[in-house]
Chains A and B, each alone.
Chain A
Amino acid sequence: MLSHDIIIVGGGLAGLRAAVGLCEKYNVALLSKVHPIRSHSIAAQGGINASLANHPDAKDDSWEKHTFDTVKGSDYLADQHAVEIMCKQAPIIVYEMEHWGCPFSRFPDGSIAQRPFGGAGYPRTCYSADITGHVLLNTLYERAVSKGVKVYPEWYVIALVTDNGRCHGVIAFDLINGKIIPMKSKVTLFATGGYGRVYQYSTNALINTGSGIGIAYKAGVPAKDMEFVQFHPTGLIGTNILITEACRGEGGYLVNNKNERFMERYAPKAMELAPRDIVSRSIQTEIDEGRGFEHPLGRYIKLDLRHLGAQKILEKLPGIRNICIDFLGIDPIKEPIPIMPVQHYSMGGIDTNEKAETEFEGFYAAGECACVSVHGANRLGGNSLLDTIAFGKLASIAIDEYLQGKDVTPDETPLNNKLAEMEHTIRMITGNKGERPFSILADLSKNMSANVGIFRTKDELALALENILKIKERYKGVYVSSSELHMNYELLNALELGSMIEVAHTIAIGAYLREESRGAHSRRDFPARDDANWLKHTIARLGADGNPEISFKDVVITRYEPMERKY
């Protein structure tokens, strides 16, 4: 059995930031199912929000204004004390990343450049062209290398070990050597990312299965606000690759087949820079009402950048241009980009507080896998990179506080029991004769995109739940081609699929029960927000019968009373 003071699962921004904060004082292990530099944080494009007030139009920006924009963007479901903490941290974090070498783009005066983003009253999104996630992740990985953080690359966590309200460690799977290894720890932090792959159409990387959320949920840790799923307005048609909001931040237009900038009808003031939930619904409405364009790969809307000119596109959006050329053979300098809204981000996740603590002693979560909640019902662009680093850092501080003056001894018995259970599960999967994982996942993800999408109805959600129960039955017979454990990606797919089904179940049931429209959760049969009955968080925990048990939790309101959300 391996032993560390602290096990961090996930090598993206949240996990690396926590590791950097803890590694000098504690014996830290960072497990990542891909090399950390391949983590999905790398794919973030547009930027990170912080009220630096560097932009000439933002001289009176402040963390309070950032907080207000975030709370309003969340459709008042965010916990306001947590948003305040994050927005206060934002400038500190951006300067810290800069001091550690992050190559932000610059204004002519030598300060960090900032651009406008959706739902923000000021241009406060700090960026590096359109590769902001790439530069932040590289910088934090570089920092981790300089500090000598111990990384276990291509080690998957397949179970979280909890017992009597506390966490004792994890069961890990060393992919290259095919070994199943119990790892005990005083503290475990999950920074395992979002669940985009539960949907058929998603901007997310293939590794974004949400298995971390599912693994925690299966270990008894509640999930929060899972019904709030962000659909990004501009996914590239066909491949669903992210086309950054910075395209609109830099002045891009959305245009329908009547050559109208249709956002005028939906958000006359903010136009293309309304928050993502509103822009996605507007695009979907245009498409549904016949004002989209036809393409063999689906119906779409045009994102037009041509008026920005070649120089601005080459300087500010070079990655977007390359994506369009590589994946669709079009050059946005000359042609509009065909886009459609697709799943992008998980507002919900493991139920945590502002210190990244969960209900279980010794178990923490940060980043997209966690739900503090700072994004509520809809996250603003530029706030997710901030969330990852802010709560990675805050988690490291909270963990340090927890371990001080405390003699924590993890218990090996539950670890050994869980190890035996996982070995049994794997023997079942390699010995079954039912169905291979890919076809089950295909049906699960189609079900989610078709029935738990941008617009929702009771009937579709009931159908989604019915389908998930059938899929759960099919999963009992899941099998893989080879019983070899090393480099067996199909086996990992099968194991992760078990978690994905649970994640999907919590999303669908939350959406079914929430009879209102708030942020990204939009019910055609309940089109209005209902603060009297639904200004509350949904909590899902695994019930004894294997189904989610739902309860609710109050939203923390400090100084911003809920009001109508207009842009």
Chain B
Amino acid sequence: MIKETVYTFKILRYDSKRPEEAAQFRSYQIKVIPGLTILAVLIRIRDEIDGTLSFRSSCRSAVCGSCAMVINGKIDLACRTQVASFGTNTIILEPLPNFEIIKDLVVDMTPFWNMYEKVRPYLIRKSPDPEKEIQQSEEERKRIDQFVNCILCASCYGACPVLARNPDYLGPAAMAKLERFVLDSRDERPGDVLEEINNENGVWGCDTVFRCIDACPKDVRPTDSIVGLRKAILKKKLLGRYK
């Protein structure tokens, strides 16, 4: 038989449609078997205890980026976090910081997507497309690997201390996305796009305290992208080109 343990889940509840009611924690007692994830328990709480609980989820395998939240003080995906991994029977769940709450654990991601769109997150070419693939060496492909892995879950955005004080800051995910294209051997964006991030709301705003790296569930290092973009800006100043 698999042994069940009783856990207490304290979940921050708030409804932006009822701003007069302050956010507060609600406690749920639930029996959990080993190996269960935070997301699995959240689903059981909504099913069996409280049908009004709101949270986002989809893939349950750490690839879709829906369920980033604060779990016992640390940002992670609820679907890949084991309930038993904290050495305590009390689990505290809060929504991602640096966002407005819509309801409970669901936040308004609009500012995150606005920043994403700002960097022109797509391949830009001037050359005509060849008949077949654009050639790229294995080494060139590898260069963008870690930034390709980003699942846009906004964990880094929630963890960033700069965004906490400056909501106009581009943020780690958008810069990682930009670097993914700047580093891509096939991309031909004009060098002056770097001017748009050559300021305190862009690459120079970063505190380089690596909170984004700690928070990333996919081992992406957004700080590397920011440092890379700073170098590209300097290179362009010195040599007139960034590649």
Q: Which residues of A line the B interface, CB within 8 A?
A: 34-35, 37-40, 42-43, 52, 94-95, 98-101, 103-108, 110-112, 128, 131, 134-135, 138-139, 142-143, 145-146, 176, 178, 205-207, 238-239, 241-242, 296-297, 319, 322-323, 326-328, 436, 438-439, 480-482, 484, 486-490
Contact of A489 among B35, B54, B61 (CB under 8 A): B54
Are A490's CB and B46's CB within 8 A? Answer: yes
Contact of B122 among A104, A145, A296, A480 (CB under 8 A): A145
- Of B21-29, B133-141, B155-163, B228-236, the one touching chain A: B133-141
- Of B143-151, B193-201, B204-212, the one touching chain A: B143-151
| Residue B221 lies at the interface, judged by CB distance under 8 Å to chain A | no
In addition to A145-B122, A205-B60, 6 A-B residue pairs with Cβ atoms within 8 Å of each other are: A42-B64, A176-B102, A239-B61, A326-B80, A486-B103, A487-B103
Are A108's CB and B102's CB within 8 A? Answer: no
Are B47's CB and A205's CB within 8 A? Answer: no
- Residue of chain B at shortest CB distance from A144: B122
CB within 8 Å: A-B pair count: 149
CB-CB < 8 A to A488: which residues of B?
52
Are B141's CB and A106's CB within 8 A? Answer: yes
Q: Identify the interface centre among B102, B122, B133: most chain A CB within 10 Å of its CB.
A: B133
B48-72 interface bits toward A, Cβ cutoff 8 Å, 1 = contact, 0 = none:
1011101111111111111000000
- Residue of chain A at shortest CB distance from B110: A153
CB-CB < 8 A to B48: which residues of A?
438
Are B63's CB and A43's CB within 8 A? Answer: yes
Contact of A110 among B37, B129, B131, B137 (CB under 8 A): B137
Minimal beta-carbon separation of B94 from chain A (angstroms)? 17
CB-CB < 8 A to A138: which residues of B?
148
CB-CB < 8 A to B2: which residues of A?
296
| Residue B17 lies at the interface, judged by CB distance under 8 Å to chain A | yes
Are B52's CB and A95's CB within 8 A? Answer: no
| Residue B123 lies at the interface, judged by CB distance under 8 Å to chain A | yes
Are B148's CB and A101's CB within 8 A? Answer: no
CB-CB < 8 A to A39: which residues of B?
64
CA distance A486 to B58 in the complex (A): 19
Looking at chain B's contact residues, the main secondary structure is loop
CB-CB < 8 A to A103: which residues of B?
141, 144, 148, 184
Contact of A99 among B62, B113, B134 (CB under 8 A): B134
Are B51's CB and A43's CB within 8 A? Answer: no
Known interface pairs A38-B65, A296-B2. Does A146 touch B58 (Cβ–Cβ under 8 Å)? no
CB-CB < 8 A to B165: which residues of A?
none
Known interface pairs A35-B109, A490-B46. Does A134 touch B151 (Cβ–Cβ under 8 Å)? yes
Contact of B66 among A34, A105, A139, A239 (CB under 8 A): A34
Q: Identify the interface centre among A35, A103, A178, A327: most chain B CB within 10 Å of its CB.
A: A103
CA distance A436 to B136 in the complex (A): 54
| Residue B168 lies at the interface, judged by CB distance under 8 Å to chain A | no
Minimal beta-carbon separation of B185 from chain A (angstroms)? 10
Minimal beta-carbon separation of B192 from chain A (angstroms)? 18
Minimal beta-carbon separation of B186 from chain A (angstroms)? 7
Are A34's CB and B56's CB within 8 A? Answer: yes
Contact of B50 among A35, A145, A238, A481 (CB under 8 A): A481
CB-CB < 8 A to B117: which residues of A?
145
Are A489's CB and B123's CB within 8 A? Answer: no
- Residue of chain B at shortest CB distance from A241: B61
CB-CB < 8 A to B63: which residues of A?
42-43, 131, 134, 319
| Residue B132 lies at the interface, judged by CB distance under 8 Å to chain A | yes
CB-CB < 8 A to B54: which residues of A?
487, 489
Contact of A438 among B47, B62, B64 (CB under 8 A): B47
7 A-B pairs with least C-beta separation: A101-B123, A481-B51, A438-B47, A110-B135, A142-B122, A490-B51, A487-B103
Q: Which positions 5-56 of chain B face chain A at CB distance < 8 Å?
A: 15, 17, 35, 37, 43, 46-48, 50-52, 54-56
CA distance A327 to B134 in the complex (A): 37
Contact of A112 among B55, B104, B133 (CB under 8 A): B133
CB-CB < 8 A to A143: which residues of B?
122
Are A98's CB and B51's CB within 8 A? Answer: no
Minimal beta-carbon separation of B11 from chain A (angstroms)? 14
| Residue B152 lies at the interface, judged by CB distance under 8 Å to chain A | yes
CA distance A207 to B61 in the complex (A): 13
Are B133's CB and A145's CB within 8 A? Answer: no
Contact of A128 among B57, B104, B106, B148 (CB under 8 A): B148
- Residue of chain A at shortest CB distance from B149: A131
Are A40's CB and B129's CB within 8 A? Answer: no
Are B121's CB and A145's CB within 8 A? Answer: yes
CA distance A322 to B218 in the complex (A): 9
Are A38's CB and B66's CB within 8 A? Answer: yes
Are A99's CB and B148's CB within 8 A? Answer: no
| Residue B241 lies at the interface, judged by CB distance under 8 Å to chain A | no
CB-CB < 8 A to A482: which residues of B?
51-52
Minimal beta-carbon separation of A102 from chain B (angstroms)? 9
| Residue B169 lies at the interface, judged by CB distance under 8 Å to chain A | no
Known interface pairs A37-B152, A111-B133, A206-B60. Does A436 touch B52 (Cβ–Cβ under 8 Å)? no
Are A486's CB and B17's CB within 8 A? Answer: yes
CB-CB < 8 A to A100: which residues of B?
122-123
Known interface pairs A34-B66, A103-B148, A142-B123. Does A206 touch B186 (Cβ–Cβ under 8 Å)? no
